Amino acid sequence: MGKITIEPLSRLEGHGKVTIILDESGKPVDVKLHITAIRGFEQFVVGRPAEEVPRIVPRICGICQTPHHLASVKAVDAAWDVEIPDTAKKLRELMLLGNMIHSHALHFYYLAAPDFILGPDADPKVRNIVGIIEKSPEVAKKAIALRKFGQSIVEKVGGKPIHPVTGIPGGISTTLSEESRDAFLKEIDTMIEYAKEGVELIKSLNEQYINMVKSLGVIDTWYLGIVKDGKHSFYDGVLRFLSPDGSEKVEFPFSEYQDYIGEHIVSHSYVKYPYYKKVGYPEGIYRVGPLAMMNVCDSIPTPLAEEARKEFIDMFGSPANQSLAYHHARLIEILASCERIKELLEDNEITSTDIRAEVEPKAGSGVGVVEAPRGVLIHHYETDENGIVIKANMIVASTHNVPTMEKAIQQAAIEVFKK
């Protein structure tokens, strides 16, 4: 028997390690993914006025702070039975899309692309964004431009580039000026072109590494994502589960998530292991995020991203079960985000000053859900008659994925140790 420990895990947002147990012949017999950090925000927010919570929970994640801000304020809206103005909803969606572009570009171009563009056999010292700048400077420049554009939107609409503050119960605290709207419109067609080039880049990389893409981390799981009228949606809609073979679709409103999602506990990790309740654990573990979104939606509402989604399905099948196909799906979502931002900016209502409804703190229970860059993000609060949080539950995007990440690592370890 032997044991391999990989610690710390790099290129991720958090702390973790992997342990691989080997038998006498050197074959892996058990693999564990350990999430070694505990955050405790479900307790931190108890006792706080609910209107403060959207400014507290972005500290859960330095990358996905905007989705936490928005899921949180949606949960407070729901707890206090507030219907926000359409412009406020569109500005919140715009903020979310800015973060989606910023985070997806980071994830692919900075964290994943070095292994593909420089090659998995290249010296680890050069497999990073600096290596990308040296080998493919045009790719690096466009990646930086996409991130800058997305972050500028978050800063303008969210009040700060990191840890936004403008989402408030009942709407949003700032308007978008015509001057700012016009400035973003001048850039958006260029960003769409960069996003299209990103999709072409991943298609060429998939062809180059097709054997790896179609063999490592290939697992059958359930999938969960947000759809609106069956279409891909980042901000609004319902949750949809898709079965591993694609034959079964189950939709339910955000408010009923506890009827469908269970939370299992394991001894080797601080993170909870969510699963689809009606199937049970572990058979009901599922994936969220870009890959899941390509699988669960019937279509993407914007034309270029929809064309790219169809090509994706042709390449990987439906549902796609290749973990490395996440990168391709992620780049399609950058394109979808850019196209949707253009639609929002061209909507005259986006500069309206009707951005906030009257709100009265009250006793209630509310669920807020958005699609974060890593997948479905759920915030659920209960408040007392003074609007103080008395109970909170959060299932963050990476948490949904941990059980299936562990399963994918187990499969990949078996493949790697065959060689």
Question: What is the pLDDT at residue 229?
Answer: 98
Q: What's the confidence (pLDDT) of residue 10? A: 72
3-state class (DSSP) for residue 306: helix
Binding-site residue set for Fe cation? 64
Q: How far apart are CA 281 and CA 277, in angstroms?
A: 8
> Does the structure show a pLDDT above 90 at 62?
no
Query: pLDDT category, 419, cuts 50, 70, 90?
Result: low
Mean pLDDT over each residue of the chain, to the nearest integer: 95
Q: How far is CA 396 from the centre of its chain?
A: 9
* Known binding positions for Ni(2+): 61, 64
Share above pLDDT 70 across residues of the chain, in percent, rounded to a whole number: 99
3-class DSSP assignment, residue 393:
strand
Residue 159 CA to residue 164 CA, distance in Å, equals 6
Average pLDDT over residues 233-255: 98
pLDDT in tens, 94-140: 999 999 999 999 999 999 999 999 998 899 889 999 999 999 999 99
Amino acid in the structure at residue 226: I
Long-range contacts of 138-144 (CB under 8 A, 24+ apart): 139/109, 139/113, 139/201, 140/109, 142/194, 142/197, 142/198, 143/105, 143/108, 143/109, 143/110, 143/113
Q: What is the pLDDT of residue 352?
A: 98
For the residues 45-59, what does the mean pLDDT come to? 97
Task: Provide the whole-model pTM.
Answer: 0.95
Question: Which pair of tokens denotes residue 215?
Answer: 């063999």
pLDDT the model gives residue 327? 97
Binding-site positions read 42, 61, 64, 394
Task: Supply the pLDDT for residue 63.
Answer: 85
pLDDT tops 80 at residue 14 = no
- Cis? peptide before 282, omega within 30° of 0: yes
- E-assigned strand segments in 210-272: 222-228, 231-232, 238-242, 249-252, 261-264
Q: How far is it, in rounded angstroms, from Cα 124 to Cα 367? A: 43
* 404 contacts 66 by C-beta, under 8 angstroms: no
Locate 261 and state its tokens: 């999602």
Q: Where exactly are the structural domains of the chain?
A: 41-418
| β-pair partners for 362 | none
Region 298-304: what's the mean pLDDT? Answer: 98
pLDDT value at position 1?
74
In contact, 273 and 265? CB cutoff 8 Å: yes
Residues annotated within the binding site for Mg(2+) are 42, 394
Q: Is the pLDDT of residue 172 over 90?
A: yes
Whether residue 307 is predicted with pLDDT greater than 90 in this model: the reply is: yes
* Residue 35 confidence (pLDDT): 87
End-to-end CA distance of the chain: 19
Superfamily of domain 41-418: Cytochrome-c3 Hydrogenase, chain B (1.10.645.10)
Percent of the chain with pLDDT over 90: 85
Long-range contacts of 211-215 (CB under 8 A, 24+ apart): 212/120, 212/324, 213/322, 213/324, 213/325, 214/322, 215/415
- Decide which of 39 and 241 is more confident: 241
**DSSP alpha helices (H): ranges in 273-325?**
290-296, 303-316
Selected residue with higher pLDDT from 317 and 9: 317
